Chain A
C-alpha cells in the first residue's frame, strides 16, 4: 500500500443531477415544477496511485453514478474530474483515447456486461481494436490468449460465446477485457455482488493479484462492508449523493465516527454473531429527489438536533484521522452510542 502523494484520479465538487421532470405538458397542466434528482451532490475525492479506494453506501446513494461520471459515461452537472492532472470533465467516454485507454471499468452483472452475440475473443479484443493497440490479428490472438490465461482461463476459451461460461468465468472475461488496454485505473462497480461467496473469493483474490502485478489503481464500489474491508486502502461512505465519512480503511472500520457509518457496520449480518438479534434500524432511505434539509441523514439519526435539521455539515477532520461530515461528531456530542465496535477477537458462541 504505497500511496504516492500525487493522486491518480481526483474529483472536485462533482455533481450529477438527473432531470426527472414529468413531460412538459404535465408540468404545464398540473403545475408541477421541474424535478431534479441529485444522484451525486458535491463530491471531493482523491485516489492515490496504486491504491484501492472504496465507495460504500445503501442502494441508490449514487455510487454507480460516480463510477460512470469518472469514466465519462455521464457528463457531470458541475465539478471536475482529473486524471493525472489532465482535465477530463467534459470529455465523453473513450475520449481522448490516449487517456481513456488507461481507465477501464468492470461491471456488476457478468451476464449483462458481455454481448451475448459476440465471441469471447472479440469481446476481449474490442478495446485493443478501438484503441488501435495491436498491428494484426495474429498478435491480437496472442494477446487475447495471454489475457485469458492471466485471469485463470484457458486460451482456447476465446472461441466460445459468453453463455457457455458460468458467472464467475464471465466476470473473469470482463476483467480480461478491462485490463486488455493496459489501464492504470479500474473502476469496479459492485463486481462481485451478483456472484456466490465462493466465486466472489476467487474474483477478489484475482483482483488483488492483478493489482499487485500490474500496479493498478481501483475505484471499488460495493455495499458489502466486509468485501470493502478486505479490498480497500481508503474508503468513502456515501449517503444520498454525498460522502459522509472518508479516510483510510483501517481507521474507518476501527473507529467509525459518523452515525451512518456506525449504523452500517452494525447492521451487516456477521457469521461470527450467531443467533444475534440485530436492532433493526428505523426508517427508510429518503427520496433523493426531495432530500431532507440540513444533514440528509437526520431523520434516521438518533443524535440529530435542530442544527442537523437545518444546516448541511461539511467534511471535517475527525479526531480519528478520517474526515466526517457530521455536526454531532464535530461538536463532540457523540458519545459511545448504541453502535457496535468491531470486535478484535471473535465473540464466544452461546451454547
Chain B
C-alpha cells in the first residue's frame, strides 16, 4: 500500500490478462493479422491499386490475368484479375471491407439487442422474461442458416425495388443479427440472474438506485465478459454465414462483392486454371476467420479465471 503506486498503464501491462496475451504467441500473431486485415480494409480506398467497383475503369482486355509473378502476369495486377478485368487484390481489399462490415455490424446489433433483452429478462423476470425467452426458444428452434436464408429472401422481396442495391448489406446484417442475438440474450440473462442476487446489487438497491441504473452501472459491466467471447466467435461466424449465403445466391451482389461473393464467383473457375480468382479470397477469408477465432479462443480462456 505504498503511496507511489505504479502508473495504471504499468499495472495493466503487468496484469495476468496482458501477460497471458503476451505469452501466447499464436494470439499475438492472430491479433496482428486481424488488425492488419481490418486496417487494410479500412484503408482500401487509399491503398487499393484499383477501384474494383467503378465499372467504368474495368476493361475486359485485362480480364483473367494471372498474378504478377506468374507467366503472363501484369505488374499492375499483383494478384491477377478476374473475368471482368477486376484487380483481385483490390477486390479482396474491398471485399474484406464488406465482409468485416457485415460481421461487425451484425454482431453489434445482435449484441446490443441480445444484451438488452438478457438484462431485462434476467433482472425483472416474470412475464417479460417468459415472453422473451419463448421468442428466443423459437429462434433457437430453427437453424441459423435457414433463418438467414428466409429472412434475406423475404426482406429482399418486401423491400421497395429502388432500395435493392443498397439493401443487400442491410438485409444480410439483419438476417445474421436476428439469428444470433439469442445467444447473447441467453448468456446475459443467466449471468444477470446470478448477479441480481449478489450482495453488491442489494447494496445498491438499499441506497435507492433505480433498476435502470443498477442494470447499467452495476450489472452490465459484470456480465460483459462472456459476451465479448461470444462476440468474437460470432464475428467469425457472421463472416462465414455471409459467405455461405453468397454461395446460395442471397449474399452480396457481384458488383459489390464481399469475400464470400468473390469466392462464390471464383469457385466457377476452379477447374479452368484461373485459380487465383478463388484461392486468394478464400485464403483471406480463412486467415481472417481463423485469426478472429484464435483471438476469441484466447479471450475465452483469459476471461475464465478458473483456467489460469
Q: Within 8 Å by CB, do A and B touch in the complex?
A: yes
B203 in contact (CB, < 8 A): yes
Does B205 count as interface, using CB distance less than 8 angstroms? yes
Do the beta carbons of A105 and B204 come within 8 Å of each other? Answer: no
Which residue of B is nearest A164, CB measured? B1
B5 contacts the other chain (Cβ, under 8 Å)?
yes
A6 to B81, CA, bound (A): 92
Q: Are A71 and B206 in contact (CB under 8 A)?
A: yes
Cβ contact of B205, chosen from A93, A154, A156, A174, cutoff 8 A: A93
B61 in contact (CB, < 8 A): no
Complex CA–CA separation, A93 to B1 (angstroms) = 35
Given A156-B1, A156-B3, A159-B5, A131:B202 Cβ within 8 A: no
Residues in A neighbouring B1, C-beta threshold 8 A: 154, 156-157
Q: Encode B206-248 as 1/0 by CB contact (under 8 A) with A.
A: 1111000000001001100000000000000000000000000
Q: B200, A94: Cβ atoms under 8 Å?
A: no
Least distance between B195 CB and chain A CB atoms (Å): 9
A144 smallest CB distance to B (angstroms)? 15
Indicate which residue in A104, A108, A115, A157 contacts B206 across the interface (CB closer than 8 Å): A104
- Decide yes or no whether B57 CB sits under 8 A from chain A: no
Q: Is A73 an interface residue (CB 8 A)?
A: yes
B222 and A131 contact, CB distance less than 8 A: no
B residues less than 8 Å from A157 (CB atoms) = 1
Q: Is the CB of B3 within 8 A of A73?
A: no
A114 and B202: CB pair below 8 A? no
By a CB distance below 8 angstroms, the chain B residues around A94 are 205-209
C-alpha spacing A117/B204, complex, angstroms? 14
Given A154-B1, A156-B1, A156-B3 in contact, is the A113-B208 Cβ separation under 8 Å? no
> Is chain B's interface secondary structure helix, strand, loop, or mixed overall?
helix
Selected contact of B222 from candidates A72, A105, A117, CB within 8 Å: A117
CB closest chain-B residue, reference A130: B207
Number of interchain pairs (Cβ within 8 Å): 67
Closest chain-B Cβ to A241's Cβ sits at a distance in Å of 20
Contact A117–B221 (Cβ < 8 Å): yes
A71 to B199, CA, bound (A): 13
Quick one: closest B residue to A178, CB to CB? B203
The answer, yes or no, to whether B255 is at the interface (CB within 8 Å) is no
Known contacts A108-B199, A112-B198; A97 and B208 CB within 8 A of each other: yes
Q: How many residues of B contact A (CB 8 A)?
A: 17
| Contact partners of B199 in chain A: CB under 8 A | 107-109, 112-113
A residues 122-166 near B (Cβ < 8 Å) are 123, 126-127, 130-131, 154, 156-157, 159
A177 at the interface (CB under 8 A from B): yes
Chain B min CB distance to A23 (Å)? 10
Alpha-carbon separation in the docked complex, A205 to B157 (Å): 74
Q: A107 and B208 in contact (CB under 8 A), knowing A116-B222, A156-B1?
A: no
Residues of A within 8 A of B208 (CB): 93-95, 97, 100, 130-131
> Contact string, A302-340, partner B, CB cutoff 8 A, digits 1/0?
000000000000000000000000000000000000000
Which B residues are in CB contact (< 8 Å) with A174? 203
Q: Which of A92, A105, A116 contacts B203 (CB 8 A)?
A: A105
Cβ of A222 within 8 Å of any chain B Cβ, yes or no, is no
Q: Which residues of A contact B206 (CB under 8 A)?
A: 71-73, 93-94, 100, 104-105, 127
Set of chain A residues within 8 Å of B218, measured between Cβ atoms: 115
Which of chain B's residues have a CB closer than 8 A to the CB of A104?
Answer: 206
**A334–chain B nearest beta-carbon distance, Å:** 40
- Bound-state CA distance A256–B173 (Å) is 71
Question: Is A181 engaged at the interface, CB distance under 8 Å to the other chain?
Answer: yes
Nearest first, the 10 closest Cβ-Cβ pairs linking A and B are A94-B208, A113-B199, A107-B199, A130-B207, A117-B221, A115-B200, A127-B207, A93-B205, A112-B199, A112-B198
Beyond A107-B203, A114-B200, 6 extra complex contacts between A and B, CB < 8 Å: A94-B207, A100-B208, A105-B206, A113-B199, A131-B207, A159-B5
Interface residues of A (CB under 8 A from B): 68, 71-73, 92-95, 97, 100, 104-105, 107-109, 112-117, 123, 126-127, 130-131, 154, 156-157, 159, 174, 177, 181
14 A-B contacts (beta carbon < 8 Å)? A71-B206, A73-B205, A94-B207, A95-B208, A104-B206, A105-B206, A112-B200, A115-B204, A126-B209, A127-B207, A131-B207, A156-B1, A156-B5, A159-B5
